[in-house]
Amino acid sequence: MSVSSVQTSLVDRAAPPPVRPARRASPGVRLKYALTVLAFLLPSAIPLTLFVLAPMVSAAWVSLTDWNLISPQVFVGFENYANLLTDPETGAVFFHTLYYIVGYLPLVYIGGLALALGLNTALKGRSFLRGIYFLPVITSWIVVALVWRWLLNPSNGVVNTVLGFFGIAGPGWWSDPAWAMPSIIIASAWKDLGFVMVILLAGLQAISPDLYDAAKVDGAGWWRRFVSVTLPMLSPSTFFVVVISLINGFQVFDQVYAMTGGGPAGASEVVVLRIYDLTFRYGQAGEASALSWILFIVILAITLIQVRGQKRWVTYG
């Protein structure tokens, strides 16, 4: 659920005024208050500590060892990192992941924006239509992958059948190294379009109509209003979509696993699939942990750069 990790820093409002016991309250009262706080916090603090924070630290340790999950761990320092950085496979999986992001992001953003603009009007059956567009969002990645594997089936999938009807010989889609990643991108964009649409629609609805009225008074046409009012006022929502898409894009896994398994011939092998394979197929847990730390640092760095850079283009009205 990294979904709202970013906007938290943006949304977080000041905490309401305190009502804790005064400093001069008796020790009994203060102890009782402390126990109350613990009672409310521990149910979440214990699982977060045991199953997120502790493994995080332990992954850092594993990444410094040579280990196949069974034999004793051997400390090797930064050897795993050095191996990864010189292994051409590492460059390849990052390249495939970037390819995915570069194909996917413009598709969902432009598509989602067009839909949001269309639905932000006096449309009959608006919420029903919005519900249809949102349907793929609630569907699991595995189902999405299977359905699209079938739609894009090279021999008798419906897409190639329709293309054939127009006299076009459809490509081999997921069975062709050159088309495997585009197939994954199409399926992913179909699934996430409704999500982006809802975020942008909420952003559009938060724009004050006065701004449009003022622009109209100044004689601005539709395009001018779109460029000078809509896009800047929508920039916080755009920022959110971009940040979330990059975080999720670097972690792409489910749909690749189910649609191509990283193939054909490794053409769609992405970073997380590599982590999975290193751990459970090649028994190189140390290298897998090192790669997952590299991935985490890359995601963190890219997110921080965006948060820093948002001043340049994000308008908070």
Partner 1 sequence: MAEPRKASSETRRVIGERRMPTRSLIGWITLHVVIVLGALAMFFPFFWTIITSISPGAGLSISPSLIPDNPSLAAYERLFTELPFMRVIGNSLLLAVATTVVQLITSATAAYAFSRLPFRGRGLVFAVYLATMMIPLQVLIVPLFVQLRDFGLLNTYLGALLPTFASAFGIFLLRQAINQVPRDLDEAAMLDGAGHFRTFFSIVLPNIRPALATLTVFAFMGSWNSFLWPLVVLRKPELQTLPIALAGLQGQYTTEWDIIMAGSVVSILPMLALYIFAQKYVIQGVASSGIK
Instruction: Considering only residues 79 through 118, tell me which ones interact with partner 1, judged by CB under 8 A.
Output: 115, 118
Considering only residues 25, 69, 110, 168, which one is a binding residue for partner 1 as defined by CB under 8 A? 69
Answer yes or no whether residue 75 interacts with partner 1 by CB under 8 A.
no
Considering only residues 29, 47, 168, 178, which one is a binding residue for partner 1 as defined by CB under 8 A? 47
Answer yes or no whether residue 173 interacts with partner 1 by CB under 8 A.
no
Q: Which of 292, 274, 304, 310 is nearest to 92 (CA)?
A: 274
Considering only residues 31, 51, 74, 309, which one is a binding residue for partner 1 as defined by CB under 8 A? 51
Binding-site size, partner 1 (CB under 8 A): 114
Smaller CB distance to partner 1: residue 37 or 168? Answer: 37
Q: Which of 267, 250, 274 is nearest to 180 (CA)?
A: 267
Cα-Cα-Cα-Cα dihedral sign, residues 206, 211, 216, 217: positive
d(CA 290, CA 83): 10
For the chain, counts of helices (H) and of strands (E): 15, 2
Cβ atoms of 159 and 152 within 8 Å: the answer is yes
Instruction: Report 240-269 residues binding partner 1 (CB under 8 A).
Output: 240-241, 247, 250-251, 253-254, 257-258
d(CA 294, CA 199): 30
Least Å distance, CB 178 to partner 1, is 22
Instruction: Report 152-171 residues binding partner 1 (CB under 8 A).
Output: 153, 155-156, 158, 161
Name, in order, each residue with C-beta under 8 angstroms of 219's C-beta and a sequence gap of 6 or more.
none
Record the tokens describing residue 215, joined without a space: 């622009």
CB atoms near residue 43 (< 10 Å): 8
In this structure, are strands 74-75 and 65-66 parallel, antiparallel, or unpaired? antiparallel
Least Å distance, CB 43 to partner 1, is 5
Considering only residues 134, 175, 176, 283, which one is a binding residue for partner 1 as defined by CB under 8 A? 134
Least Å distance, CB 79 to partner 1, is 17
Binding mask 198-237 for partner 1 (x = CB under 8 A): xxxxxx-xx--x--x-----------------------xx
139-159 burial string, b = 16+ CB within 10 Å, else e? eebeebbebbbebbbeeebeb
Instruction: Report 10-39 residues binding partner 1 (CB under 8 A).
Output: 10-11, 13, 15-16, 18-20, 33-34, 36-37, 39
Least Å distance, CB 227 to partner 1, is 18
